[in-house]
């Protein structure tokens, strides 16, 4: 019985005289206070945690108030449980003024947490949680300007290290809402977009560097949602972006970061055929030649039907591209363009060049086969020998299947088609040709093939 009475006395004494922070409180050297104060602090922290964990928030409030007002630097749990307690009170409250009071209190708790515990959790992280609670409690009445300010400070505090990473998305939603409310905020929204995308790319790179694929994938999802909102916002149409960047071009024509950002932004929404895009590509190519800048210039050359220049830039792109598979694709694109111009010899050379970067590119052999078939009429003076050209084409199709099983279906389809044009056995015999023998196919093809007949 005496022990029970002593416990009651201790608890009561812990709560008594707790309405104002103790004079001379030292949050650095004595966060729990001194002497009896420290005993009171520890006891109230324990009672607070027990009640809060049991979701008995009304009782938790009493002991929480003691430690919050008197020993604010004693435990981070004060700032973990504080918002939970007041959100529970908020949910039950019907009086609007009282609800507003609870929201203000929660905001105050986060500010105090930054004061005493920003060395434990980054200031930007605390600000993000503050913004999330504000948004949750205010609902439809949440002011996007308030969210924008809080999350803007949070992100600038942490940049590519922002945690939680979905703060990037919430920030851009707030920026978009401000733009939709006031069209004069368009430039702000566009600037925010590119700044945040830069942070996100670095954040993903950091996650991958730490072998944290789950976080990298989540960050990529956040990025995709921001991109989708930007493309559909009306702020990011080709004309707007070109006007936005062209106004800054003269003073930034030697600024590689600006040029990359501008060219990348236009490319992301499909604005790659304008004179301004080509101007960006040309400036980038002069400063620091890359596969992207070379492709941009190749596209301009194609628009002007300057195929010689296009060939030069496609070949440069292939050499500058670190990904060999992409290099092969660039040269395949060039081969297809030349094929469409009936420049068979050059087209074949580009296809062979594509194979140097990716020897397993079966599509290159298929394209060469199609070139042979397309030119079959003009290779031999004797029309009966046309079938020998299709034999040479089938050689390439067989090779395509051998190096790249993924093209087997297409290769077999073409083999079935081309085999209909083989020489008749009688015609071959009359011309001194025998199935299975080798024969040279002249002209631009200039290769030996195996005679096949039907």
Tens digit of pLDDT for each residue in 56-72? 999 999 999 999 999 99
CA distance 122 to 161: 10
Residue range 318-323: mean pLDDT, rounded = 91
Query: 158 in a domain, yes or no?
Result: yes
Structural element, H or E, at residue 415: helix 408-418
CA distance 43 to 75: 12
Check residue 49 and give its pLDDT.
96
Check residue 27 and give its pLDDT.
87
Query: 173 in a domain, yes or no?
Result: yes
Residue 228 or 420, more confident: 420
CA distance 26 to 71: 9
The answer on pLDDT for 328 being more than 50 is: yes
Decide: pTM greater than 0.75. Answer: no
Query: 139 in a domain, yes or no?
Result: yes
Residue 2 or 293, more confident: 293
Check residue 194 and give its pLDDT.
85
Same domain, 104 and 131: no
Query: 417 in a domain, yes or no?
Result: yes
CA distance 361 to 384: 33
Check residue 21 and give its pLDDT.
54
Same domain, 19 and 107: yes
Same domain, 171 and 194: yes
Out of 98, 116, 134, pick the residue that ends a domain.
116
Check residue 23 and give its pLDDT.
63
* Closest to 147 measured CA to CA, from 109, 178, 108: 178
Provide the pLDDT confidence category of residue 9 given band limits of 50, 70 and 90.
Answer: very low
Same domain, 66 and 143: no
Per-residue tokens: 177 = 């809402």
**Per mean pLDDT, which range of 111-125, 282-296, 327-341, 367-381 is the poorest?**
282-296
Same domain, 170 and 91: no
Out of 60, 85, 116, pick the residue that ends a domain.
116
Check residue 10 and give its pLDDT.
37
- Angle made by CA atoms 282, 288, 294, in degrees to the nearest 5: 45
Same domain, 417 and 439: yes
Query: 359 in a domain, yes or no?
Result: no
Same domain, 441 and 407: yes
The answer on pLDDT for 6 being more than 70 is: no
Query: 48 in a domain, yes or no?
Result: yes
Which range marks the domain in which residue 414 is found?
386-454
Residue range 296-321: mean pLDDT, rounded = 88
Per-residue tokens: 408 = 């087997």
Check residue 296 and give its pLDDT.
81
The SS3 of residue 424 is coil
The answer on pLDDT for 384 being more than 60 is: yes
Residue range 237-246: mean pLDDT, rounded = 84
Same domain, 165 and 86: no
The model's pLDDT over 89-138, given as tens digits with 9 standing for 90+, comes to 999 999 999 999 999 999 999 999 999 998 899 999 999 999 999 999 99
CA distance 383 to 431: 12
Same domain, 133 and 86: no
The answer on pLDDT for 231 being more than 80 is: no
The model's pLDDT over 14-67, given as tens digits with 9 standing for 90+, comes to 343 344 456 678 888 889 998 898 999 999 999 999 999 999 999 999 999 999
Check residue 269 and give its pLDDT.
76
Out of 92, 116, 140, pick the residue that ends a domain.
116
Query: 286 in a domain, yes or no?
Result: no
Same domain, 85 and 153: no
Query: 287 in a domain, yes or no?
Result: no
Check residue 346 and give its pLDDT.
93
Same domain, 87 and 8: yes
CB neighbours of residue 114 within 10 Å: 17
* Number of domains composing the chain: 3
Provide the pLDDT confidence category of residue 78 given band limits of 50, 70 and 90.
Answer: very high
Residue range 248-256: mean pLDDT, rounded = 90
Check residue 13 and give its pLDDT.
38
Same domain, 197 and 220: yes
Residue range 367-382: mean pLDDT, rounded = 93
């Amino acid at each position: 019985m005496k022990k029970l009475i002593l416990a009651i006395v201790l608890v009561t004494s812990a709560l008594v005289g707790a309405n104002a922070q103790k004079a001379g409180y030292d949050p650095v050297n004595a966060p729990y206070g001194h002497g009896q104060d420290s005993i009171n602090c520890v006891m109230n922290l324990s009672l607070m945690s027990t009640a809060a964990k049991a979701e008995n928030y009304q009782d938790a409030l009493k002991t929480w108030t003691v430690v919050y007002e008197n020993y604010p630097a004693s435990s981070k749990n004060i700032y973990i449980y504080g918002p939970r307690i007041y959100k529970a009170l908020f949910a039950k409250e019907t009086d609007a003024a009282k609800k507003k009071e609870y929201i203000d209190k929660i905001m105050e708790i986060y500010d105090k947490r930054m004061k005493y515990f920003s060395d434990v959790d980054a200031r930007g992280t605390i600000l993000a949680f503050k913004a999330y609670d504000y948004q949750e409690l205010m609902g439809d009445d949440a002011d996007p300007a308030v969210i924008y300010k809080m999350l803007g400070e949070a992100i600038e505090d942490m940049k590519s290290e922002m945690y939680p990473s979905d703060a990037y998305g919430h920030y851009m939603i707030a920026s978009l809402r401000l733009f939709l409310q006031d069209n004069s905020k368009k430039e702000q929204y566009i600037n925010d977009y590119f700044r945040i995308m830069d942070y996100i790319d670095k954040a993903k790179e950091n996650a991958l560097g730490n072998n944290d694929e789950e976080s990298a994938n989540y960050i990529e999802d956040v990025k995709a949602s921001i991109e989708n909102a930007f493309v559909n916002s009306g702020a990011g149409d080709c004309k707007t972006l070109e006007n936005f960047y062209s106004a800054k071009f003269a003073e930034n024509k030697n600024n590689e970061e600006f040029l990359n950002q501008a060219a990348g932004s236009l490319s992301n929404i499909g604005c790659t055929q304008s004179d301004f895009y080509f101007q960006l590509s040309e400036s980038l190519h002069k400063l620091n030649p890359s596969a992207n800048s070379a492709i941009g210039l190749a596209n301009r050359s194609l628009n002007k039907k300057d195929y010689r220049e296009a060939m030069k830039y496609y070949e440069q792109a292939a050499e500058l591209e670190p990904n060999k598979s992409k290099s092969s694709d660039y040269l395949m694109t060039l081969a297809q363009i030349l094929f469409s111009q009936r420049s068979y010899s050059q087209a074949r050379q580009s296809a062979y060049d594509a194979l140097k970067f990716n020897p397993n590119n079966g599509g290159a052999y298929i394209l060469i086969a199609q070139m042979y078939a397309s030119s079959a009429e003009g290779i031999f003076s004797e029309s009966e020998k046309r079938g020998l050209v299709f034999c040479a084409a089938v050689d390439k199709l067989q090779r395509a299947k051998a190096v790249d099983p993924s093209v087997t279906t297409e290769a077999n389809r073409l083999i079935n088609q081309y085999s209909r044009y083989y020489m008749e056995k009688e015609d071959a015999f009359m011309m001194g040709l025998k199935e299975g023998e080798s024969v040279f196919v002249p002209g631009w093809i200039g290769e030996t093939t195996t005679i096949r007949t039907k």
